[in-house]
């Protein structure tokens, strides 16, 4: 199992740590107060206007299983990677001691920020997410990697809250569908005939909450059927000793947000050219 060796606690109660290791996810209410969320939301609105992309979202055969032909044509996703490189409010958010302390309790005392990613679902037909593990997007050697969903809006199934397959992290990394029927590449997802959103647990959350989950936890979400935008920013944190083997931002050293970066025997210092 990927439990940290140390028993020291930074932000979580023992029961919360036990819940995460049992179920593969953990809901952390009110991590950010109203003032902090207001500053993050203000910068997020600016980021969506100035830098984010708006498009059809993830590709692949899953789309026609999750959406009718008509909805599938209209469904869109607003996305942006690495918000903390564009905004001080988001830089502050990803080093917040409650979030980094919680992650340290889950993976160990050294914590490295790997990435941040915005997923905003526009009103009425905002993009659903097929069942997948985030491991398929940024493969790492082991499970000491926690994704944290920072909520800017209240969520439930009507606007596409996150849904987890309970305890699915225990099965480790799984092969994903990466090509459509015609052989062309598509966004990684699990086969729709074997993995269903119907089997998952919804985790509704409030603005300011964080929902943490393992890189191996299988998850997805429904379409946004409401008349309001649904905004979530994912921050990915890892044990700096957990090497990345493929995918998003590979080779890019992240920020150490807790503890230190340990040095392997004869390891060179970090390059200055990435």
Ligand X SMILES: O=C(O)CCC(=O)C(=O)O
Give the footprint of ligand X on this chain (CB under 6 A): 119, 129, 134, 160, 162, 219, 221, 232, 234
For the bound state, the minimum distance from the C-beta of residue 226 to ligand X, rounded and expressed in Å, comes to 13
For the bound state, the minimum distance from the C-beta of residue 219 to ligand X, rounded and expressed in Å, comes to 6
Angle (deg, nearest 10), helices 14-23 and 97-107: 60
Q: Which residue is nearest to ligand X (CB)?
A: 221
102/148 with CB nearer ligand X: 148
For the bound state, the minimum distance from the C-beta of residue 232 to ligand X, rounded and expressed in Å, comes to 5
d(CA 209, CA 37): 10
102/233 with CB nearer ligand X: 233
For the bound state, the minimum distance from the C-beta of residue 165 to ligand X, rounded and expressed in Å, comes to 12
Question: Shortest CA distance to 106 belongs to which of 236, 220, 212, 183?
Answer: 212
DSSP per-residue string spanning 121-152:
E-TTTBPPEEEE-GGGTEEESSS-EEEEEEES
75/221 with CB nearer ligand X: 221
d(CA 274, CA 261): 17
194/269 with CB nearer ligand X: 194
Strand partners, 28: 210
106/162 with CB nearer ligand X: 162
Residue bearing tokens 């679902």: 121
For the bound state, the minimum distance from the C-beta of residue 190 to ligand X, rounded and expressed in Å, comes to 12
């Amino acid at each position: 199992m990927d439990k940290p060796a140390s028993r020291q606690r930074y932000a979580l109660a023992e029961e919360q740590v036990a819940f995460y290791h049992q179920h593969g996810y953990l809901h952390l209410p009110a991590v950010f107060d109203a003032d902090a969320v207001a500053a993050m939301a203000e910068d997020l609105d600016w980021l969506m206007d100035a830098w984010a992309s708006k498009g059809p979202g993830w590709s692949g055969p899953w789309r026609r299983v999750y959406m009718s032909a008509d909805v599938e044509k209209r469904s869109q996703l607003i996305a942006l990677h690495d918000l903390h490189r564009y905004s001080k409010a988001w830089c502050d958010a990803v080093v917040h001691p409650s979030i980094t302390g919680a992650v340290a309790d889950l993976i160990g005392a050294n914590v490295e920020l790997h990435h941040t990613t915005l997923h905003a679902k526009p009103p009425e037909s905002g993009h659903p997410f097929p069942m997948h593990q985030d491991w398929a997007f940024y493969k790492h050697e082991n499970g000491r990697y926690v994704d944290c969903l920072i909520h800017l809006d209240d969520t439930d199934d009507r606007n596409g809250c996150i849904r987890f397959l309970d305890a699915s992290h225990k099965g480790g990394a799984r092969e994903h569908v990466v090509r459509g029927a015609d052989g062309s590449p598509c966004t990684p997802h699990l086969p729709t005939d074997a993995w269903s959103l119907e089997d998952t647990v919804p985790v509704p959350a409030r603005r300011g909450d964080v929902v943490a989950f393992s890189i191996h936890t299988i998850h997805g979400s429904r379409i946004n059927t409401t008349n309001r935008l649904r905004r979530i920013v994912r921050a990915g944190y890892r044990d700096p000793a957990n090497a990345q083997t493929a995918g998003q931002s590979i080779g890019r050293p992240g920020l150490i947000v807790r503890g230190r970066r340990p040095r392997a025997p004869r390891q060179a210092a970090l390059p200055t050219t990435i």
